[in-house]
A and B are shown apart, each in its own frame.
Chain A
């Protein structure tokens, strides 16, 4: 593993109005590793992914991509950076007015690949990689099942041949078999090319299967002023034996303390 991080977050805070989502987060992501980012809903996992591609700006702190600060990048540099990053969105975010073929070809066209023969070759290859046939090319996103939509989203992200893949809850809402299919595709992608992956997920099976390293965030709203938001950074095998009970509770899906919180809030109301 390289010593210099590919992506670095330094003291990053994000606030939406009066809601503090991230607070003083420091995180390094190294080249060619698969990092799983876990945590309860609302702890800022998806926000972190959007910060990395510059879709959101931090309220405080800085982000670096290959040592270059994102906020100092010009429009052209930002576009070039984004074309090296594949993003699988939580809801797939397929363009609903375009066919599957056009969806996958979109990023290729943006990169300047416009020759029909080359487009066809590359789109078909990407669709095959995720287990989709030629018959699905002409379908509209509305005609696809949840699992197929995820796979088309993955094909679209991989079509641009990225150096970094960001997965935003890739298995949410899928049945166990399709969840494992997506996990296998993540592993297969990493085996085929040297790629850095950041996987945001709630699924512990996904974490155990694909991650080299795990980072856990805790919701800022449930922390006191100076408690760090990042409560675990280590291998997946260390999660269940972690000293921090909040980590173990998340891993085992233990809701006892949250129920106490909820009961307290209800009683106070």
Chain B
């Protein structure tokens, strides 16, 4: 046969026998969940260790802080304001019937400072910034930019996740204070100027019930929420599946998992802070109980 001529290649033997599918046990779901949690934990430790590495650049941290903090001011302010106003409207009719109008301030402000402010700021951050982080890192994964960072001798987790994590935990307390303040302004405006509640007693009750401890607990919660949501969203981005669908899915998963984690952690920390509060001030705890 002359060189370069084509002879017939024997038909390739297509191996159609698929490898056996391992039987998934009843607890396979929990096994997968624990595996994912373990993977996320290792990822988180690596990212947090990046804070002390030379990979963390001030310029990148500032960029993240602006993106997380400054760009979220508008949305956090507006939602905080309306949550305060809605709470005032919904609570007024109930307390008015039993003549406790002036206690509205204490109840609403306590709810805002302890629960709604931190949760609202965290959920807004998960929706606005977290999904963007997942999508951005997911796109970097799909376009091999993350692989390129690793090939140039830089740890991509430390380089990309550490500034995002740090930016979130630095900015979220400020956003929480903003959400708290706007919630208080919104609820006070409705209570004092729409329902005409006596302002002296309104503020007096607030001062008696809402303490510095409540504000600090709210801020502590927010820092935990910010850290966890940034790590969840970045982890989803890093483990993004190929294609546009993969990036979209990573962004959605980032938000949903962050939201569930925020709610779960809120419950755990509410239990914890109440226990701590009762340990420090047992008499007040007994009175409340």
List A residues at the B interface (Cβ < 8 Å): 18, 50, 53, 55, 75, 79-80, 82-83, 85, 87, 89-91, 93-96, 106-107, 110-111, 156, 160, 221-225, 240-241, 245-246, 248-249, 252, 254, 256-257, 260-261
Contacts and interface: CB of A to CB of B under 8 A. Distances in A.
A111 B145 contact: no
A111 B153 CA distance: 8
Nearest to B21: A18
Contact of A93 (B9, B12, B144, B154): B144
Interface string B1-21: 001111111011111001101
- The prevalent SS among residues of B at the interface is loop
A223 B12 CA distance: 6
A221 B19 CA distance: 12
B150 A82 contact: yes
Nearest to A245: B9
A18 B151 CA distance: 27
Interface string B138-164: 000001110111111111000000000
Contact of B151 (A80, A87, A254, A260): A87
Contact of B148 (A89, A225, A241, A245): A89
Contacts of A50: 147
Interface of B: 3-9, 11-15, 18-19, 21, 143-145, 147-155
A252 B144 contact: no
A96 B21 CA distance: 41
A245 B151 contact: no
B150 A93 contact: no
B50 to A, nearest CB: 13
B283 to A, nearest CB: 54
16 contacts: A18-B19, A50-B147, A79-B155, A93-B147, A94-B145, A95-B145, A96-B143, A106-B152, A107-B152, A111-B153, A221-B14, A223-B12, A223-B15, A224-B12, A246-B9, A257-B8
B144 A240 contact: no
A87 to B, nearest CB: 4
B152 A110 contact: yes
A91 B152 contact: no
A80 B9 CA distance: 45
A191 to B, nearest CB: 24
Given A225-B15, A257-B11, A160 B152 contact: yes
A147 B60 CA distance: 29
B8 to A, nearest CB: 7
A183 B85 CA distance: 68
Contacts of B14: 221-222, 261
Contacts of B7: 245
B152 A240 contact: no
Given A89-B144, A241-B3, A248-B4, A82 B151 contact: yes
Given A249-B9, A254-B6, A260-B11, A89 B152 contact: no
A106 B18 CA distance: 45
Given A221-B15, A248-B6, A93 B143 contact: yes
B153 A79 contact: yes
Given A248-B6, A252-B6, A87 B15 contact: no
A121 B18 CA distance: 56
Given A246-B9, A252-B4, A55 B150 contact: yes
A4 B151 CA distance: 24
Nearest to A223: B12
A89 B15 CA distance: 32
Contacts of A87: 147-148, 151
B169 to A, nearest CB: 22
Contacts of B150: 53, 55, 82
B4 to A, nearest CB: 5
A53 B6 contact: no
B239 to A, nearest CB: 14
A110 B153 contact: yes
B105 to A, nearest CB: 47
A156 B148 CA distance: 10
A90 B144 contact: yes
A269 B150 CA distance: 43
A252 B148 CA distance: 33
A18 B6 contact: no
Given A18-B18, A95-B145, A85 B151 contact: yes
